[in-house]
Structure 1
């Protein structure tokens, strides 16, 4: 099934890809376009510095998540449904919010939707929108280099979770400071969340998911906390991290065989449509991150629904002609018909 959006809500991009100047003329922003002029510094790499606070926190989180798995049979069906709702809601705060809206400016969202997405993003607890978008733009601009925060060339573990357990490479920090983040700074919702991020995470990620099942249908606090909060949070984290790890290593490359990101349908299913990664790194400005609309892409369905309600507009979509020309020129020949 292909997505259906009102004609006024979609901007089809007709320009030929891979030309930053052309993209800039259409999009204004080029900070998510790969910078081929970047060169890694010669000489030995800086020593890896472990952040033990993060190691301990992530270890305790995953131990708690395993305990939550044990508790699942004793939880009510309503608690399972609530946990799944919180999982998808928090994921949309990353996929539709921090990623497609704020990192890539692939569509526009009105105030009520931006507030909703910021709340969902706080529930996801994956850094505030400002920091998430900054690091993600650096990831695209310097993908698979020392300046990439979760450089997949350093291995699966590093790109999945290891990058959060050590200090950033100096190039990541240096390049991040040089990005134009004026659009994020001008968004009052983004900066409000950044200012009150810790209390918002405490409320949205831990308190609300625990209190709702306990208060409304009498779930035990233990089940509510370890299943709806801890297990749900750890699961959403790992599904998001698979975009950085598995989707950069396993799958085909129908649009650009010269880059690492791959099309990975399992990741697309688990991460609400974010696994069409070869397409996304080839056309980062496409609001759908895929040419196949709603297929295994809950986030695109959500954005299209917001367009139908009038809360989202100006969705950027790459034309079929541009996609065809690109895959014939640089793809690996594995393209499937939509």
Structure 2
């Protein structure tokens, strides 16, 4: 069961970047993300009500606002900017740049005088060097504007993951995610409409509808459930490997399905980023008993609630 759940997280969360790329072919990016998270929140809430009753959503005003803030950072600005960026850059390049989220988290820790280990800082320097190299040489996968936007999305995910362990959050992890998704989705709806996005149902292709359905069911529900189960049933060292595998899956699927180019620069820059992330995760997890946060892991599905900040965050593609 562990390997089955891990395979789901590897493939499903790695494939959400492709799903986003196909969905926005004929659906405005922010509105597609809004539809995705609002529907996923409704389905998750319904499941939780049937399983645990209204008591599962018991939370204080402060806890609700905490979950709402994280939802805005992870989904409204984080996933929203990723969806916008994928109009201009390849899905594989987006996934590799999003893999830098754990690196920004360490930077934030340093800023609040939570001094990481020397090897952790070395990993950050290596990883950020890879981000810089990929940003400067990966233009064949898209425009400079798209690269800047997806990096801003990564920073937003990192901020959301960072504050989630430092503010009041609801006790129930599934209820927390439901609040994050509905608030994040509502924020995307407001932003999309404000920026002039309009949904022309007649213009949406079957291909885009199927991609959106996949993101809702597979990315935001199945992938999320598998990851949540792994947190309590698998070693941290094993669960953490999704941070390295998801970008590789995204690059491979982008090349196979969308014929995206895999240049030498993308391979080298991506490997440098993943080496930095691997160094950060392998160093930091020696001092923790829990798996790392998954703020961005699936292309945007919020992670289960955390009571303290962990050194790394996911992957948004899910």
Give the TM-score, by structure 1 length.
Answer: 0.32
Higher RCO, 1 vs 2 (CA within 8 Å, ≥6 residues apart): 2
Higher helix share: 2
Give the TM-score normalised by structure 2: 0.34
